[in-house]
Amino acid sequence: MSFAIVAEPLLGVYKGQVGGGQLDPLPSPARLHAALVCAAAQGVRAVADGDGLRPCDADRDALRWLEAHPPDGIAVPETLPNGGAATAYRKEGLVVKEGRSPLSEKLVGKPAVTGVAVAGRFAWTWEQDPPEPVAAALGALCPEVPYLGTSESPVRLAVAAADPTHRLDRDADLFTGEGLDLTVATTGRADALEAAHRETSVAPLLRADAHRSSEKTTAPPVVTAGLELGRYARPEPPPPPTPWTSVLLFRVDRPIPPQLRVRYAVAVHRALVALVGDGAPAVLTGVYEPGVSRPSNRCAIQFLGPDAPHVGGTALALLLPREASEVDLTLIRMAVQRLRHVKVAAGPFGVKPPVEVPADAFWPEPAVGTERWWQTEPVAVPDSRPPRGGRWSLADAAALSVALVWRHEFSAPGRGDVRYRALAEAAAGRGVRVESAVRVMDRDVGHYVHKVNPDTVIQPYRAVLSLGDLTGPRTIAAIGQSRHLGGGLLVPRDLPSDIVRRWAR
């Protein structure tokens, strides 16, 4: 909860206008500031200034603090806009020389219903509390504000604590992206409002006050000084927990060919199990007692090319699964410190002591102007045979593999084929998109999987895919049947944003 100014619409409606009379969907920070200026300049806290009033010094300081510190966030409740054809005709209290009569009362039609219905309260929030004198001044000033918008939308304004629904994006480009672009008071706004008020407060000459036979409304001046636009954006929801929490990353002394990664990973796996010794946890061995439920993911062993991040060269990565216990993880961390050499028929290799990197901060940020997509490296292998009962593509198989890795994010009904189809569909619902999936023709499927069921047709494929909102852009993960032993690693493939937008259309 942050320091906040909270406004409760007392009739359940906020009525305000912006620009040329358009409906104001919510009171902006500038409107709040103007209301506070008004309350400070003529409420009980104001001090005499000639034959008029001005804000006291404490309130002036508070208003200037607001100008220097626009709200870091705003809380926008659920609202419903209103309008409609119903028109109320009212006499404006003016006499005009129009129509057939020499003099008549001005009758004006205005919408009978305007404004937005509000479920709850608006709030403007600051992450840091203001200095005590400012907080005290705002606390006393807020209850002196009777309305926001028109006098038909009275509010109860108070200093309180609130959570924002939108946060100020100080680097926002107002021409792209989404969010609420609201006017915000900046330095000099209160002074400009006071000056405009002083200027219009001079009584006209006696002659200028004479009644005229045809009257017009003299609109008050619109003061635009000390205003700027601020983008308030709804924060992206935090990505769901990563399937693997962290990565133990070892620099390797020579490149590992892609077609040998599964075999090398199997060798590393054997070496690690041997280093842990008796009682090696199932989350590492992959061997579970009968009846024990299996987690979505186990320890995964992957190889990265010569530009692997964090170590700057070919690397061996041991991905530690989220579902492992602390005891098991401690055992594994202790054992891997002793890993120096891995024996493998194709040629042994040495490793450097590991560094541990958080899985959600593994890859570098996407390049500017691009969106992060992923490519299977070297290939992925479907987790199941094609389910019966309809069309099933490699793209569906990839979506299913993604869903199985993030299984805790989905509650798919049914069993077997029905469940597989439901999982693939649910992944698509979370934004998982497979843009290309190409089968890899290779007679030796042993390059891509460790154990092969004689009834299963192995279909290794390369794919470019988006993980939707399942994870952040820097997370390391792998998909498919061989994800725990050198297959299906997802490496970044940053695509230009305009191409991605074209695909979306």
Partner 1 sequence: MRSLDLASLLAAGSAGGPSCLTSTTALEPAGGRHTSVAPAKFAARGKKGGVYAYEQRYLGDESRYAVVVDSKQSQLNRAEVALAQAVEDRHPLLSRVPHVRVSYERDGAVEHYYDLTLPHRVFDGHIRAGAIDGQPTTQTEAYRAVRDATPANARALLETSPVTLVFGGWDSSRRSRQGRWRSALVGEIVGFVAASRDQAGVLAEPTPALRGGARVDPVGMQINLNKKAMTETATRQQAELSPATYGDIVKAANGIKPGDAKSASALGLGGIPPTLDQLAGVACDTIIRTHVLSFATLRQMRFGAGVEGDAVCRALLAALALNALARSDAELYLRANCDLVEAEMPMVRLDQRGGAFLDVEPLSIDAADLLLSEALAHAEKAADVKWSGLAMRVTGNPDIVSGAVETDDNA
Site for partner 1 in 27-56 (CB under 8 A): 38-39, 42-45, 48, 51-53
Q: Does 22 bind partner 1 (CB under 8 A)?
A: no
Burial code of 407-441, b = ≥16 C-beta within 10 A, e = fewer? eebbebeeeebebbbbbbebbbebebbbeebeebe
Q: Which helix (H) or strand (E) holds 356?
A: strand 355-358
- Nearer to partner 1 among residue 113 and residue 438 (C-beta): 113
The 51-90 contact track toward partner 1, x by CB under 8 A, reads xxx------------------------x-xxx-xxxxxxx
Which range, of 146-154, 290-298, 301-309, 464-472, touches partner 1 by CB under 8 A? 146-154
- Nearer to partner 1 among residue 201 and residue 436 (C-beta): 201
Nearest approach, Cβ of residue 98 and partner 1 (Å): 10
Provide the sign of the torsion angle of the four alpha carbons 469, 474, 475, 476, taken in this order. Answer: positive
Nearest approach, Cβ of residue 109 and partner 1 (Å): 7
Which range, of 137-145, 277-285, 411-419, 486-494, touches partner 1 by CB under 8 A? 137-145
* C-alpha–C-alpha distance, residues 450 and 154, integer Å: 71
- Nearer to partner 1 among residue 42 and residue 375 (C-beta): 42
Strand partners, 263: none
Q: Say if CB 328 and CB 283 are below 8 A apart.
A: yes
Of the residues 36, 137, 140, 268, which one makes contact with partner 1 according to CB under 8 A? 140
Of the residues 23, 25, 56, 156, which one makes contact with partner 1 according to CB under 8 A? 156
Q: Does 1 bind partner 1 (CB under 8 A)?
A: no
Q: Does 91 bind partner 1 (CB under 8 A)?
A: yes
Q: Does 418 bind partner 1 (CB under 8 A)?
A: no
Nearest approach, Cβ of residue 210 and partner 1 (Å): 6
The 275-304 contact track toward partner 1, x by CB under 8 A, reads ------------------------------
Residue 278 CB-density burial (10 A; 0-12 exposed, 13-18 middle, 19+ buried): exposed
Q: Say if CB 125 and CB 73 are below 8 A apart.
A: yes
- Nearer to partner 1 among residue 104 and residue 296 (C-beta): 104
- Nearer to partner 1 among residue 112 and residue 225 (C-beta): 112
- Nearer to partner 1 among residue 161 and residue 499 (C-beta): 161
- Nearer to partner 1 among residue 53 and residue 233 (C-beta): 53
* C-alpha–C-alpha distance, residues 273 and 267, integer Å: 10
| Upper half-sphere CA count for residue 277 (Cβ side, 13 Å) | 4
Nearest approach, Cβ of residue 7 and partner 1 (Å): 11
CA distances from 370 to 25, 213, 433, 494 (A): 33, 66, 16, 6
Instruction: Write the DSSP assignment of 204-238 as a string of letters.
Output: PPTGGGS--SS----PPPPP-TTEEEEEEEPPPPP
- Nearer to partner 1 among residue 211 and residue 502 (C-beta): 211
Residues 6 or more apart whose CB falls under 8 angstroms from that of 495 comprise 370, 371, 373
Nearest approach, Cβ of residue 19 and partner 1 (Å): 20
- Nearer to partner 1 among residue 46 and residue 397 (C-beta): 46
Of the residues 19, 68, 132, 151, which one makes contact with partner 1 according to CB under 8 A? 151
Nearest approach, Cβ of residue 193 and partner 1 (Å): 14
Strand partners, 491: 375
Q: Does 21 bind partner 1 (CB under 8 A)?
A: no
CA distances from 278 to 78, 301, 318, 320, 325 (A): 59, 20, 20, 20, 17
With CB under 8 A as the rule, give the number of residues binding partner 1. Answer: 76
Q: Say if CB 121 and CB 28 are below 8 A apart.
A: no
Angle at alpha carbon of residue 98, lines to 95 and 104, rounded to 5°: 35
Q: Does 222 bind partner 1 (CB under 8 A)?
A: no
Residue carrying the six token digits 């040329």 = 20
Q: Token pair for residue 62?
A: 């508070």
Nearest approach, Cβ of residue 30 and partner 1 (Å): 19
Task: Report the site for partner 1 in 98-127 (rule: CB under 8 A).
Answer: 100-107, 109, 111-113, 115, 117-119
- Nearer to partner 1 among residue 206 and residue 504 (C-beta): 206
Q: Does 25 bind partner 1 (CB under 8 A)?
A: no
Q: Locate all alpha helices (DSSP H) within 286-415, ordered by sequence.
A: 326-336, 394-405
Task: Report the site for partner 1 in 190-219 (rule: CB under 8 A).
Answer: 200-204, 206, 208-213, 215-218
**Number of CB atoms found within 10 A of residue 482's CB:** 26
